């Protein structure tokens, strides 16, 4: 405002300045004897064109473009104010398009583009042990310590493993999520404690004094956020851990697990007797920070040297074991990247459709304004000036749309993130920042130019003579072409989006039809950890306690069948087992052994899960610690490892269970451990079941810390958990049961990412459908309006309503057919990009393509039916009187 005012006064000053020049020149001439009149005239003559001098002087201020821009802006605002209906529809259409794009971009920006919130995030990598057929295996604790000691390319290395503790002694006993970590974990990431300190080196050794870091949430809940908490103890699984520090709220490296960990405990405190074993696979994975300037290739070469050294030193356990190094960010977001990019592409199409719709509106309007532009041209406005004027108008609309879109996005992103599956990594880093603002500004301006340019070029091209001569009707014929092309483009884009959504629907319905190998309905899973007193009990006492749990919980109301389970749980957690057949010699190293998924279960497991028994028998209560050890395998195991022989009666040795020898007594159906979609393509699919009560003493000693339970309920499973909790509390108030999940929830969660993309794609496709049918409606209405006289004449000459309807509908049918055709061809090229998200349908699925083509054609015809009806009712007398 100040600038404008300043400019105005500057112009007045210039005028005064030139005026005083004229005055002085005239005065001089008067003093030389000329008459006043004559003096003024000759002064003016000598001076030249005052207005022109003013203008060329003003040009020196360097603000001419601004002046014209302000003029255009002023004019554009006035024009838009004069047609509020048009302005409102155009702005809202764009706001939808820009808002959807901004929202999705803010997700892409937060998840994929922004650096991780740690110092020098590019140095961070994840570490795994690689086996010949498994890239991202667990690192053993002794291997980790050698890796850390022997490498030359890392400034720090750390490991972690998810865990759960029973927290007792501070109010009700409860289960807390935990991470077992090595000392460097926090300092490597650069995460500072809220109070206290992080772990010191050596505190992670086996036998070190027990310590713990707690979350800000737990600190508040249990200690009222008082600094006194430092130095106090937390009783985890019956052991007192000294609290040394509090870590920030919401800290979690991977947001993959169900909840955030509340406590971090040094891994040396783990009471698993396998921890010091070099060959143990205990679900431990690592992170590392590369030294400055070290590339990932150099680190890989370095680690190859380290692991080869270990393989030479410990051939029995380490032969063939390498290290896999993946950039941390890639590991975190690599899985969602293709989905997000496909969605971003889809939402870009929505914006294109919105632009096309607004361009169409503007074209329709430009007919009415053709005379206005013709007159302006006649008065000397240049081509570029007219285009600039029109572009200013569209930019004004686009910017208004952008502002509203930004508000829509800010609100809807937060809403969407709340209902989003927890599967989206880095979700808490999604928000509106400068990148997002920049993006929104950019797409708003681009959209403005995109939908403004076509009508602007068209209009400024308009033939001056023709328009002025033609009167109010404008050069309509030329404009139909442009409008039809726009609608065609819009339909083609809608086809692509609808096919994308259609393919996702087909994928999900295919996945729901996949038989997981068990019956998920009415199955509840949860965890039990025995009272801390049991955690050091001898194996027989533990077995007795577990039998007690089985019978007490099994008698709870609503429970039909119950089985304790240790190790793997379908689609939720997995455990593996190395073995060799008794018919072959013992392999030289673990690496040469065979590999299978392992399930340690009670006899009723088969009834609870309703897995079909193929041959032989499943376990009975008689298969206990006193009976000969037995096992049951699935049909994949039988096919893979025991082809051409009867599996029943075969014997094998289980390496993880102290090389226990077991006899196969039955074969059951395969269960899709890895989820409905990817199970078929996994390496590790063979499954082996062993009876819980025959679990060797060492692993049995771990089961009080937490064992899974599966229950088949008589009715809906969720409410049964309460009666189970009551039953558990009656056994011991120190016993914790936790983490209830229905099997249906677990399956549903495994499809969450796909469902999420289906919802979004479906929403975008619906938006596209609505926008393009509005577009068709608009164009056909416009055409009918233009052809009123022609239709009137036809009716006067004897055409019937049906003929008129045909005339109008055939035009829109032609447009629809072409648009659909172009869309189908485009889809053939584009849907290949989403092949990774599909299951059981080809990206060029004929059914989807055909259905979408049919739907869109019908919608196009329906949208043109209303204007067509209007055409049928044209009264020839009224229509002709217009002439």
Instruction: Return residues touching other proteins (CB under 8 A).
Output: 13-14, 16-18, 20-21, 23-25, 27-28, 47-49, 52-53, 55-57, 59-62
Residue with tokens 């030294």: 291
Cβ atoms of 488 and 815 within 8 Å: the answer is: yes
**Local structure of 512: helix, strand or coil:** helix
Q: Which tokens sit at 443?
A: 């797409």
Shortest separation between residue 50's beta carbon and other proteins, angstroms = 9
Could you tell me if 223 and 191 are in contact, meaning their C-beta atoms sit under 8 angstroms apart? Answer: no
State which residue, 52 or 477, has the beta carbon closest to other proteins. Answer: 52
| Shortest distance, position 47 Cβ to other proteins, whole Å | 5
Q: Which is nearer to other proteins, 52 or 797 (CB)?
A: 52
Nearer to other proteins, 53 or 468 (CB): 53
Q: Which of 283, 369, 296, 291 is nearest to 329 (CA)?
A: 296
CB nearer to other proteins: pick between 13 and 461: 13
Please say which residue, 21 or 385, places its beta carbon nearer to other proteins. Answer: 21
Question: Which of residues 14 and 718 has its CB atom nearest to other proteins in the complex?
Answer: 14
What's the angle, vertex CA 535, arms to CA 533 and CA 541, rounded to 5? Answer: 80
Q: Closest CB to other proteins among 57 and 250?
A: 57
Neighbouring residues of 537: CB distance < 8 A, sequence distance ≥ 6: 545, 704
Name the minimum Å distance from CB 779 to other proteins: 44
Q: How far is the CB of 5 from other proteins (least distance, A)?
A: 18
**Cα–Cα dist 288/376, whole Å:** 69
Q: Can you say whether the dihedral through the CA atoms of 561, 564, 570, 571 is positive or negative?
A: positive
Taken as a whole, the chain contains a residue count of 883
| Residue 710 three-state SS | strand
Cβ closer to other proteins: 60 or 384? 60
3-state secondary structure of 179: strand
CB 545 within 8 A of CB 704: yes
SS3 154: strand
Phi, psi torsion values for 423, nearest 5 degrees = -65, -15
Q: How far is the CB of 492 from other proteins (least distance, A)?
A: 48
Spatial contact of 359 and 486, defined as CB atoms under 8 Å apart: yes
Helix (H) or strand (E) holding 326: strand 322-327
Per the rule left: phi > 0, alpha: psi between -120 and 50, beta: everything else, 239 is: beta
Nearer to other proteins, 59 or 584 (CB): 59
Shortest separation between residue 57's beta carbon and other proteins, angstroms:
4
* Beta pairing, strands 239-247 & 211-215: parallel
- Nearest approach in angstroms of CB 62 to other proteins is 7
Rounded least distance, CB 67 to other proteins, Å = 14
Cβ at position 399, least distance to other proteins in Å: 31
Q: Please state the φ and ψ torsions of residue 201, each to the nearest 5 degrees.
A: -65, 140
Q: Which two tokens stand for residue 636?
A: 């994949």
How many whole angstroms separate alpha carbon 81 and alpha carbon 221?
57
Q: Which two tokens stand for residue 839?
A: 């299951």
Q: Compute the least distance from the CB of residue 53 to other proteins, in Å.
A: 5
Of the candidates 757, 750, 846, 756, the one whose C-alpha atom is nearest the C-alpha of residue 345 is 757
CB of 6 to other proteins, least distance (A): 14
Q: How far apart are CA 51 and CA 845, in angstroms?
A: 71
Write down the residue that tokens 């698993």 correspond to.
Answer: 272
Angle CA(400)–CA(404)–CA(407) in degrees, nearest 5? 145
Contacts 24+ apart (CB under 8 A), 789-792: 789/879, 789/880, 789/882, 789/883, 791/871, 791/874, 791/879, 792/874, 792/875, 792/876, 792/877, 792/878, 792/879, 792/880
At 616, is the secondary structure helix, strand, or coil?
Answer: strand
Q: Which is nearer to other proteins, 55 or 226 (CB)?
A: 55
CA distance 314 to 682: 29
Contacts of 317 (CB under 8 A, 6+ apart): 140, 277, 278, 279, 589, 590
Residue 42 vs 155, nearer CB to other proteins: 42
In the complex, minimum distance from the CB of residue 122 to other proteins, in angstroms, rounded to a whole number = 47
CB of residue 882 to other proteins, shortest distance in Å: 46
For the CB of residue 58, give the shortest distance to other proteins in the complex, in Å: 8
Cβ neighbour number for residue 16 with a 10 Å cutoff: 10
Question: Which residue, 66 or 533, has its beta carbon nearer to other proteins?
Answer: 66
For other proteins, the closer CB: 1 or 56? 56
Q: Are 411 and 84 in contact (CB under 8 A)?
A: no
Residue number with CB closer to other proteins (16 or 133): 16
- Give the Cα separation of 530 and 533 in Å (integer): 8
* Residue closer to other proteins, measured from CB, 29 or 289: 29
Minimum CB–partner distance for residue 808 and other proteins (Å): 53
User: Cβ 49 to other proteins, closest distance in Å?
Assistant: 7
Closest CA to 603 of 629, 628, 626, 621: 621
Kindly tell me which of 46 and 240 has the beta carbon lying closer to other proteins.
46
Token duo for residue 133: 């057929």
Q: Minimum Å distance from CB 1 to other proteins?
A: 22
Decide whether 21 or 536 has the Cβ nearer to other proteins: 21
Spatial separation of the C-alpha atoms in residues 752 and 754, rounded to whole Å: 5
| Alpha carbon distance 689, 575 (integer Å) | 11
């Amino acid at each position: 405002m100040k600038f404008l005012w300043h400019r105005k006064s500057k112009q007045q000053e210039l005028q005064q300045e030139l005026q005083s020049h004229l005055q002085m020149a005239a005065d001089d001439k008067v003093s030389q004897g000329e008459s006043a009149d004559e003096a003024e005239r000759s002064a003016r003559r000598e001076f030249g064109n005052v207005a022109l001098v003013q203008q060329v002087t003003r040009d020196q201020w360097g603000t001419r473009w601004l002046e014209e821009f302000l003029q255009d802006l002023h004019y554009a605002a006035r024009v838009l104010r004069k047609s509020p209906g048009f302005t409102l529809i155009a702005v809202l259409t764009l706001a939808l398009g820009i808002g959807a794009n901004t929202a999705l971009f803010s997700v892409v920006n937060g998840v994929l583009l922004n650096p991780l919130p740690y110092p020098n995030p590019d140095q961070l990598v994840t570490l795994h042990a690689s086996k010949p057929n498994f890239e991202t295996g667990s690192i053993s604790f002794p291997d980790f310590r050698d890796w850390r000691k022997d490498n030359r390319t890392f400034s720090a290395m750390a490991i972690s493993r998810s865990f759960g503790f029973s927290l007792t002694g501070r109010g009700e006993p409860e289960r807390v999520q935990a991470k077992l970590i090595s000392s460097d974990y926090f300092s490597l990431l650069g995460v500072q404690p809220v109070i206290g300190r992080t772990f010191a080196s050596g505190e992670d050794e086996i036998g070190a004094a027990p310590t713990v870091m707690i979350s800000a949430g737990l600190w508040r809940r249990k200690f009222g956020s008082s600094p006194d908490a430092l130095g106090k103890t937390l009783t985890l699984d019956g052991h007192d851990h000294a609290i040394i520090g509090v870590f920030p709220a919401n800290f979690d490296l991977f947001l993959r697990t169900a909840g955030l960990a509340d406590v971090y405990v040094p891994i040396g405190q783990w009471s698993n007797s396998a921890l010091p074993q070099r060959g143990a696979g205990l679900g431990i994975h690592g992170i590392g920070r590369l030294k400055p300037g070290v590339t990932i290739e150099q680190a890989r070469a370095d680690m190859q040297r380290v692991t080869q050294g270990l393989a030479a030193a410990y051939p029995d356990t380490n032969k063939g074991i390498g290290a896999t190094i993946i950039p941390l960010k890639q590991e975190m977001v690599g899985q969602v990247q293709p989905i997000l990019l496909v969605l971003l592409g889809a939402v870009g199409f929505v914006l294109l459709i919105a632009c096309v719709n607004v361009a169409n509106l503007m074209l329709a309007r430009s007919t009415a304004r053709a005379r206005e532009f013709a007159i302006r041209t006649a008065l000397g406005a240049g081509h570029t000036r007219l285009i600039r004027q029109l572009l200013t108008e569209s930019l004004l609309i686009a910017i208004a749309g952008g502002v509203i879109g930004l508000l829509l996005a800010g609100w809807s992103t937060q809403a969407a993130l709340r209902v989003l599956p927890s599967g989206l990594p880095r979700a808490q880093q999604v928000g509106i920042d400068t990148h997002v603002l920049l993006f929104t500004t950019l797409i708003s301006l681009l959209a403005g130019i995109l939908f403004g340019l076509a009508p602007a070029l068209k209009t400024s091209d308009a033939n001056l003579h023709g328009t002025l001569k033609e009167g109010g009707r404008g050069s309509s014929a030329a404009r139909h072409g442009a409008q039809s092309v726009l609608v065609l483009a819009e339909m083609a884009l809608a086809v692509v989006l609808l096919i994308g959504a259609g393919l996702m629907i087909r994928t999900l319905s295919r996945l729901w039809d996949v038989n997981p190998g068990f019956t998920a309905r009415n199955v509840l899973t949860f965890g039990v950890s025995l009272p801390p007193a049991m955690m050091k009990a001898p194996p027989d006492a533990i077995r007795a306690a577990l039998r007690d749990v089985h019978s007490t919980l099994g008698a709870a109301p609503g429970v039909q069948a119950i089985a304790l389970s240790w190790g793997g749980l379908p689609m939720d957690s997995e455990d593996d087992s190395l073995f060799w057949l008794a018919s072959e010699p013992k392999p030289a190293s673990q690496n040469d052994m065979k590999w299978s998924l392992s399930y340690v279960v009670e006899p009723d497991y088969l009834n609870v899960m309703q897995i079909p028994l193929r041959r032989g028998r499943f376990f009975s209560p008689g298969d206990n610690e006193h009976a000969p050890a037995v096992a049951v395998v699935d049909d994949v195991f039988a096919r893979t490892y025991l082809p051409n022989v009867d599996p029943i009666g075969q014997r094998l040795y289980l390496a993880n269970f102290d090389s226990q020898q077991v006899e196969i007594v039955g074969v059951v159906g395969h269960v899709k451990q890895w989820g409905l979609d990817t199970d078929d393509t996994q390496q590790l699919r063979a499954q082996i079941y062993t009876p819980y009560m025959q679990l060797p003493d060492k692993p049995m000693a771990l089961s009080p810390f937490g064992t899974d339970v599966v229950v088949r309920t008589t009715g809906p499973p969720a409410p049964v958990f309460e009666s189970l909790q009551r039953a558990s509390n009656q056994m011991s108030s120190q016993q914790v049961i936790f983490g209830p999940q229905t099997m249906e929830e677990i399956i549903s969660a495994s499809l969450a990412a796909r469902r999420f993309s289906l919802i979004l794609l479906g929403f975008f496709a619906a938006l596209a459908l609505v926008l393009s049918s509005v577009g068709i409606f608009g164009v056909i209405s416009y055409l009918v309006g233009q052809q009123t006289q022609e239709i009137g004449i036809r009716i006067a000459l004897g055409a019937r309503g049906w003929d008129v309807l045909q005339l109008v509908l055939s035009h829109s049918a032609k447009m629809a057919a072409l648009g659909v055709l172009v869309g189908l061809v485009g889809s053939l090229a584009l849907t290949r990009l989403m092949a990774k998200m599909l299951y059981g349908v080809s990206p060029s699925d004929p059914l989807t393509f055909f259905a979408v083509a049919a739907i869109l054609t019908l919608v196009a015809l329906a949208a043109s039916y209303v204007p067509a009806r209007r055409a049928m009712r044209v009264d020839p007398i009224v229509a002709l009187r217009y002439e």
